Structure 1
């Protein structure tokens, strides 16, 4: 295959980066860069989860430079003199590659669909695009300036970037055999661990996703072990990134019956007490849809906003009269404790939750490595 083919360039860089990771976690390869170049790359790499478009644009620019050394890749739009279409190049080669190798970091279509990147200005040091992190913007532009003005190797940059991405996205399977087989793993211990996991003060966003994954995981086990759910199907977990209405769903978690009609819906709030407005908003999602039961669960204590108890009860009764659906407001911790008591083997839940955290981490940027590491630590305590 042509070594200048963009797909080959990406694959080869990935293979080398993977080998360096196996050797010494990529440390020696990264240290071969000058301190300034390391600093630029680390600045971009450390924000990859929140600034995916920048990483996509950087990867696109590096691959294009390797393929065509004569192209000044700072000129990333056709309308710029001597430019090329970075968006077309990204859409055809880079984003599809990321969806295969770095799924959770991949853009939906292209990094050039973000306002900060799509600007009709070259990626020179005075680029006016409003990339929200100034240090990331500066580092991104300095790397491109480095390969164009100082003839730095785009291939070395690309391999180093992939090493950083592999470091950020790799999660080693936790060895939890001793925990899963432990007789000491009681419901109280599980609940205590979940409570700590939900309310840990993380340095990253995404904690609101943890209760959703926990409830989804318990439902996966309930579907098999509890008679009420025989013949029912649990739909795939919904992303918090896509609004429910746009995704045409009724909640974070959905159960359908034998006729593919909604049976139960669950909406989950983190640190937000339930009030009449939340109930009315939820009703808007399912009022035209037959459904037996709808849960509004929250990690907030108390579960219902102070002083709003009677209004919440009134809204629930109104929905029951108008629609027939039974709306249930409860705390997530209380619900999990109740569900765990229904299970013949609560350890099944721990296995599912641990697995689902890893799956979510591999698919989206909502779950971060910090969340995984905290859960592993809790299970070892």
Structure 2
């Protein structure tokens, strides 16, 4: 059995989550007071500096240190450097990271890696995390710092207290980064549908440094949050989670960027493209992805609509697939689709409230996206 496929014992996972929660609460209080004296004393100046430096690096190495430290608290006899079950005396760190750490970070709007912090081959294929192991990471310091911290935990006289201090320092930096990116967002009310679409259009195309494609994904997810409880078509169906931007469909189990599920299986899905005209190749790729799935309707939406000269071929492919498979493929613009669905809900305000809530808490969106929303609202 592969290490990543191993199941985590339920009792152990509960204890692991409890440690994450208690350490988070201690870190939250220390962050508020600005007093890290207890952690500094437990770690000593050298190790405190190393943990603090690692905690400031936005890299999977930080999440690995977090998971291994928490595991050391619930099982102090375990050599946490033996991070794979194939290692003699080892354990499946990736499994508990996937089942415990990542969901916890996600639930508290703290930065996390997609699926698991062991996704990179650099960490997942590596041998035991011993001091002489060479880990090539970018930035270069991330891997070596993680090794120093993990080996310091393993050799500490009181590994439980030491591990808790490590957890609290890392959580403190994650909390600080989250809070710095938080801005109370404007929630304009009594907007017309056209005014709402204008705000969205301006918000989508502000020229961000990164993750611009996330905004139309969030907008489509928000409109589905509005229509699913109100439309007969979706009675008894559930909206799947909004996956992280880099989550591969084959790994997450979803078939689109937004999934509506019936009895755990995809019933309707939406694929969203940013500033790319939809072509026959996009439709053909979608067909290959969903031809064996249970999807009844698949929407391919783009902020650029259908590419020039592609309409007839796109329609031909979609019509042929509907006749052979029964699944209806709808190709349209993102804003056109939002405008249509906004007509079906009581008020654009309910959509605005959901959209801003998602923008406020989404880990793939940052300060620049939130600030931009308030700016476009102020200029309307």
Q: TM-score, length-normalised on structure 2?
A: 0.70
User: What stretches of structure 2 of length at least 5 have no aligned partner?
Assistant: 1-14
Shift in Å, 1:217: 1.4
In structure 1, the partner of 2:12 is none
Q: Is the 8 A contact 2:214 2:364 kept in 1?
A: yes
In the other structure, the counterpart of 1:18 is 28
Distance 2:251 2:348 in 1: 35
Partner SS state of residue 134, structure 1: coil
Contact kept in structure 1, 2:182 and 2:367, CA below 8 Å: no
1:57 aligns with 2:64: yes
How large is the RMSD of aligned CA atoms in angstroms?
4.7
1:212 corresponds to 2:217: yes
1:277 aligns with 2:277: no
Find the residue that maps to 2:315 and give its secondary structure.
helix
Q: Does 1:159 align with 2:168?
A: yes
Q: In 2, distance between residues paired with 1:109 and 1:202?
A: 25
Structure 1 residues 129 and 283, CA gap change in structure 2 (3 angstroms): same
What's the offset of the Cα at 1:305? 2.6
Which one of the candidate residues 227, 231, 238 is aligned to 2:235? 231
User: How far does the alpha carbon of each residue in 1:83-129 deviate from its partner, in whole angstroms, 9 at most, with x for none?
Assistant: 974x45675699635644664656788755743224225442x5322
After superposing the two structures, state which structure 1 stretch, 275-284 or 129-138, moved more.
129-138
Higher relative contact order (CA 8 A, sep 6+): 2
Superposed CA deviations along residues 17-36 of structure 1, whole A, max 9, x for unmatched, are: 11122225x68999999999
Asked if 1:332 corresponds to 2:339, the answer is: no
Write the distance in 1 (CA, Å) between the matches of 2:115 and 2:253.
21
Structure 1 residue 161 displacement after superposition: 1.6
Structure 1 runs not aligned, ≥5 long: none
| Larger-Rg structure | 1
Pairing 1:48-197 to 2, within 5 Å after superposition: 48=58, 51-52=59-60, 54-60=61-67, 62=69, 85=90, 87-88=91-92, 96=100, 99-100=103-104, 103=107, 105=111, 111=117, 114-118=120-124, 119-124=126-131, 126-141=132-147, 143=149, 156-170=165-179, 174=184, 176=186, 179-180=187-188, 182-183=189-190, 185-197=191-203
Task: Tell me how far 1:173 sits from its aligned partner.
Answer: 7.8
C-alpha distance in 1 between matches for 2:294 and 2:20: 49
- Offset of residue 281 of structure 1: 1.8
Contact 2:254 2:266 in 1 (8 A): no
Q: Distance in 2 between matches of 1:120 and 1:64?
A: 18
What is the TM-score with the length of structure 1 in the denominator?
Answer: 0.70
After superposition, give the CA deviation of every residue in 1:274-324 in whole Å (9 maximum; x if it has no partner): 111111122234445676543210113xx2233433322332333344345
User: Is the contact between residue 185 and residue 360 of structure 2 (CA under 8 Å) also seen in structure 1?
Assistant: no
**What is the aligned partner in structure 1 of residue 352 from structure 2?**
350
Which whole-Å CA distance do the structure 2 matches of 1:64 and 1:249 have between them?
Answer: 30
For the 8 Å contact 2:185–2:370, the answer to whether it is kept is no
CA distance in 2 between counterparts of 1:345 and 1:22 reads 39
Deviation for aligned residue 1:66 = 7.8
Name the SS of the counterpart of 1:328 in structure 2.
Answer: strand
Cα pair 1:121 1:128 within 8 Å, conserved: no
